[in-house]
Amino acid sequence: MNKKPLALKILDLVSIVLLIAATYLSIFVAPMERVMGNVQRVFYFHVGTAWVALIGFIFTAALSVIYLATKNLKWDRIQVAAVEVSVVFFLITIILGSIWARPAWNTWWTWDPRLTTAAVVELVYIAYFMLRQGLDDPNKRANFSAVYALIGGLSAPITFFSIRLFRTIHPVVIAGTNAEAEGSFSMSGGMLQAFFFALFAFTVIFIDLFWNRIRLGEAQAKVEEMKINAAY
Amino acid sequence: MATKASHPNSLSKKEAAVGGYFKAISAIVWKDLRAEFRSWELISAMLVFSLLALLIFNFALELDVKTRQSVTAGVLWATFAFAGTLGLNRSMSIEKDRGCLDGLLLAPVDRSAIYFGKFFSNLAFMLIVEAIVLPVYSVLYNTNLFQPGLIAIILLGSVGYTSVGTLLAAMSVQTRTRDVLLPILLFPVAFAVLLSAVKASGGFLNGADFAEISFPINLLIVYDIIFIAISFMLFDAVVEE
């Protein structure tokens, strides 16, 4: 195992500092939303985690294509890292959204297009890990995972449109208006600051975790290789 | 195709290749159907399962006249989906267990021909089961499900479901967890096809205007095309040794 690079060590520290700063900004600096009150502060982390998770998922689909074209196991390790970190962030998004929805919509959960799509997407990537668990051969595992991640990535937009058959109440805060949305608001200066800072902070945190996870995957591959060598 | 095969010299190479491709597909479909019509193990399992599912739905949802109107489409599609995974799993397990898949892969045909062969035979099994479940449901609940619109939706939905199901079944039978894994892999991906199929079928059954059901129908068509195309391209990666 090669030593942890200095850049990654610095990034670890920066991530921690950014997380603390983003928490401070969203709790103490951003003004309180007039109608929803303090619970609206969940929004900064909700969008922050959603943003990185969704980018992670799109990235995953691209990695599938790259892996299938090159058949280099390196891309598989990167893909697992991306999926794993994204799944966790997306779960946080869903939980935070639920916490906000309780006071704002008066329910923890509703089968709204975005919520349903989120649940289905999360399930696709949980299934992805169950698929991986059932396979021992690294090449086959990488092949199957790439195929499944690609299919899952393609099905997500179709799922979203299919639930548009029913009306939505999820607010579109950025660039968009939805007359039926409940719990919508427009952001003032302090809010925008906290919002963009949270986006930035989570992007850095994501990259940090992603990098660490790739290193973990490399170590795992090495262990697997050593086990095989020891067996013969 | 029969006439083409009888005059091989009059064909260009490309046409001969295309003819061979369709021949390979039909050979696989023929093999599956023949094996099935001798043993009946797949269709009978799917069918008995479907009837039991209807029985359970009947009591779980108390399908009286009023509820029936709103849930018929959902009951049908839930039944088809579960029976479908049963069939897909079995049809691929048979290939894997008896080493048939290796034999198929050794055959000098394009790998995607194997995919289409399995796809068409799985689709045939699913349609046969549906063709029996529909009249049974119609008799049991005194409704007429034989409407051309509904049948077209069932066809579209089954095509989408089995197209991606065949690919995923080819993957899941090669894993350690095999039988458990297929529904877990398939349902989140096929969620959209089931949802639009339910919406469109329900629309037809309740006599909604076409404007209302054209969106789910378009979505079904889009889904079918995308998933047949992607499975066609990716099948090779799934079966290679």
Q: Please list the ranges in chain B whose pLDDT falls under 50.
A: 1-9
What average pLDDT does range A128-154 have in this prediction?
93
pTM of the predicted structure, to 2 decimals: 0.87
**Inter-chain residue contact B189 with A152, CB threshold 8 Å:** yes
| ipTM for the predicted complex | 0.87
Is residue B8 one of the residues assigned to a domain?
A: no
Evaluate if residue A14 carries a pLDDT over 60. Answer: yes
List of chain B residues whose C-beta atoms are within 8 Å of the C-beta of residue A148? 168, 171, 185
What average pLDDT does range A85-111 have in this prediction?
91
List of chain A residues whose C-beta atoms are within 8 Å of the C-beta of residue B240? 143
| Mutation to test the A interface, candidates B172, B174, B185, B232, most A Cβ within 10 Å | B185
Domain count, chain B: 1
List of chain A residues whose C-beta atoms are within 8 Å of the C-beta of residue B185? 127, 130-131, 148
User: Which one is predicted more confidently, A196 or A175?
Assistant: A196
pLDDT bucket at A166, cuts 50 / 70 / 90 = low
Dist. CA B202–CA A166, nearest whole Å: 14
**Inter-chain residue contact A148 with B223, CB threshold 8 Å:** no
Dist. CA A86–CA B23, nearest whole Å: 45
List of chain A residues whose C-beta atoms are within 8 Å of the C-beta of residue B111? none
What tokens appear for B219 in the block? 């979505």
A83 touches chain B (CB under 8 A): no
Closest residue in B to A146 (Cα–Cα):
B237
| pLDDT, position A181 | 62
What average pLDDT does range A201-224 have in this prediction?
93
pLDDT bucket at A179, cuts 50 / 70 / 90 = low
For the stretch B94-103, pLDDT in tens is 888 888 888 8
Distance from CA of B71 to the nearest CA of A (A): 16
**Inter-chain residue contact B191 with A127, CB threshold 8 Å:** no
Burial class (CB in 10 A: 0-12, 13-18, 19+), B12: exposed
Residues contacting B50, CB < 8 A, separation 6+: B79, B80, B83, B129, B132, B133
The residues in A 143-162 lying below 8 A from B, measured between CB atoms, are 143-144, 146-148, 150-152, 154-155, 158-159, 161-162
What tokens appear for B121 in the block? 């035979």
Is residue B3 one of the residues assigned to a domain?
A: no
Closest residue in A to B234 (Cα–Cα):
A147
A109 touches chain B (CB under 8 A): no
Domain ranges of chain A: 6-231
Distances in Å between the Cα of B20 and the Cα atoms of A97, B13, B15, B112 are 55, 10, 9, 13
| Mutation to test the A interface, candidates B77, B167, B171, B218, most A Cβ within 10 Å | B171
Is residue B5 one of the residues assigned to a domain?
A: no
**Inter-chain residue contact B192 with A140, CB threshold 8 Å:** no
Is residue B2 one of the residues assigned to a domain?
A: no
List of chain B residues whose C-beta atoms are within 8 Å of the C-beta of residue A117? none
| pLDDT, position B97 | 84
The residues in A 110-139 lying below 8 A from B, measured between CB atoms, are 120-121, 123-124, 127, 130-131, 133-136
For the stretch A111-124, pLDDT in tens is 877 888 899 999 99
User: Which one is predicted more confidently, B232 or A181?
Assistant: B232
| pLDDT, position B241 | 65
CA atoms within 13 A on the CB side of A171: 17
Is residue B6 one of the residues assigned to a domain?
A: no
A61 touches chain B (CB under 8 A): no
| pLDDT, position B1 | 40
**Could you tell me the residue range of the domain that residue B200 belongs to?**
13-239
Evaluate if residue A150 carries a pLDDT over 90. Answer: yes
**Inter-chain residue contact B176 with A134, CB threshold 8 Å:** yes
